Amino acid sequence: MPCGIRTGTSPFSTDAKRTFGPMTDLHPVRRALLSVSDKTGLIELGKALSERGVELLSTGGTAKALRDAGLEVKDVSEVTGFPEMMDGRVKTLHPMVHGGLLALRDNDTHVAAMNEHGIAAIDLLVVNLYPFEATVAKGAGYDECIENIDIGGPAMIRAASKNHAFVNVVVDVEDYSSLLDQLEENYGKTSLGFRQWLAQKAYARTAAYDTAVSNWMADALQLEAPKRRAFAGELKQTLRYGENCHQQAAFYTDGTDRSGVATAVQHQGKELSYNNINDTDAAFELVAEFDPADGAACAIIKHANPCGVAKGATLLEAYKAAFDCDRTSAFGGIVALNQPLDAETAQEITGIFTEVVIAPGASDEAKAIFAAKKNLRLLTTEALPDVTAGGKTVRQVAGGLLVQDKDNGFVGMDDLKVVTKKAPSDEQMRDLLFAWKVAKHVKSNAIVYVKDGATVGVGAGQMSRVDSALIAAKKAERMADVLELPQPLTIGSAVASDAFFPFPDGLMEAAEAGATCVIQPGGSMRDDEVIAAADEAGLAMVFTGMRHFRH
């Protein structure tokens, strides 16, 4: 079945379209406890509940905000008989609160205990937690982060969620309208399906919150491999399908503010697909290796591998050079730029079918040019991602997760070791470092030929490094025919290998393709043989001491 056609219903239905099952087990909302750090929509919600005759309980700043709006509110301290104490650390952790949340309304023993101790039922809990994630994101110190770990909120959320047979728990501001719609449709009551839906979201929120706290503490304590590691995400968008049309998929954000596809603004075009998102991320992370202060750069990606990368005096020049590396593969690709998109470059890009263009900004003229290409997605960001920043990458395997540091390894001119009799010239050294940056983003085994600040051949994802060298050279030969050049641009090029050459054969394939200098990690048991072969072929070669496997 073509991927443009999809049958069945996605399990990731949007909330706006969601139904909550049959209207069974309807329970009224008579009493609500509101305690929120984010006051967005609070007054409107409070007024709507009050107009329905719902008694409002609240704490601290939430109670004050409601009272200031003219609403009648009872302090939780009135219910518990204890004042808020210890700088607000203790206020809701009390049987009068948790009994009201946890009591089973259809259990005679629970009802008797409520009557005996004067515990009134709480039918609705509205809580959003202390802004721990935001506190960490702004770079707060250890003590301030600790103070922003919510205790009472998660405890109440978990209690209310467990008792969702009777209790509604709302943790997202965006769900206020859904709650009010339920109450309107069911004459002040909510259905079991709705409460179940709220409970699942609530448990996911506390899980994500605890994940943020535990991972922050692991980093603060510099624990490289804590016994338990948790990961969480928030739904950004549902996707039509995954890598293939029979796979269901969705896109989640991790809460970080890293510039890239997750934080970009989409100006036009249809929704991004799973593969679009994956490839756009690969493209933008690659082009970010090139500081815009050092000149314009462009990366063209296809199936997460670069089919052309180049620098230029202008974005237009960089794009043309990147395109000329492999024009065939560039069709339907992703274009990433390290400077704001201008009109001239935009016009050139529209010359072929392109899926996505991502850049740190775009001029109004460029946007207007793209507007005529309805299927072309234009994404802009505030900045480039910081390629030196740390972080973790996660990959699922059967029965577990592989977690590692993000590959932010950097090699500069001073880190290179010349191992051959011939040393690279300054011009060759610039191309070698360029090739090395690109090789970091090519699937292993990676071979990258570069000449004059542009890739001229890329070999990716082969089981043999020799095959990668051959494929990249063949591509360069084909492009020489297309461009009507007298010889392939690999003649006189620099070549990068993401890992060491285990034998001289791969190196010799690169030499036969015309490479005159080589950058590789070194570290093979046969380094001496490889170096001797390079000397015999008249190559200049440098070792980085660092590899960039990318599987």
User: CA-to-CA distance for 196 and 100, rounded, in angstroms?
Assistant: 18
pLDDT digits (tens, 9 = 90+) for 392-412: 899 989 999 898 989 999 999
The predicted structure's pLDDT at residue 3: 66
In degrees and rounded to multiples of 5, residue 86 shows phi and psi of 55, 50
- CA 252-253-259 angle, to 5 degrees, is 140
524 by Cβ neighbours in 10 Å (0-12 / 13-18 / 19+) ranks as middle
Closest CA to 106 of 163, 56, 53: 163
* Lowest-confidence region among 399-403, 457-461, 466-470, 491-495: 399-403
| Two tokens, residue 386 | 């910081």
The predicted structure's pLDDT at residue 18: 56
- 258 touches 385 (CB < 8 A): yes
The helix/strand/coil state of 378 is strand
Report the predicted TM-score, pTM, of the whole model to 2 decimal places: 0.85
Q: Which residues are catalytic?
A: 162, 303
Q: Which residues pair with 37 in a beta bridge?
A: none
Average pLDDT over residues 170-193: 94
pLDDT digits (tens, 9 = 90+) for 462-487: 999 999 999 999 999 999 999 999 99
> CATH 3.40.50.1380 residue ranges in the chain?
26-221
The helix/strand/coil state of 120 is coil
- CA 183-168-155 angle, to 5 degrees, is 155
* 251 pLDDT higher than 90: yes
Closest CA to 542 of 520, 516, 511, 510: 520
Backbone CA torsion sign across 126, 130, 136, 138: positive
Residue 90 DSSP label = B
Average pLDDT over residues 325-346: 97
* 27 pLDDT higher than 70: yes
* Residue 469: Cβ within 10 Å count: 31
Note the CATH number of domain 407-543. Answer: 3.40.140.20
Alpha carbon of residue 184 to chain centroid: 37
> Which one is the CATH code of 241-252+259-380: 1.20.910.10, 3.40.50.720, 3.40.140.20, 3.65.10.10?
3.40.140.20
- 488 touches 514 (CB < 8 A): yes
Write a three-state SS string for 42-61.
HHHHHHHHHHCCCEEEECHH
pLDDT higher at 306 or 2: 306
Going by CATH, does the domain composed of 26-221 fall within 3.40.50.1380?
yes
> CATH 3.40.140.20 residue ranges in the chain?
241-252+259-380, 407-543
The predicted structure's pLDDT at residue 438: 97
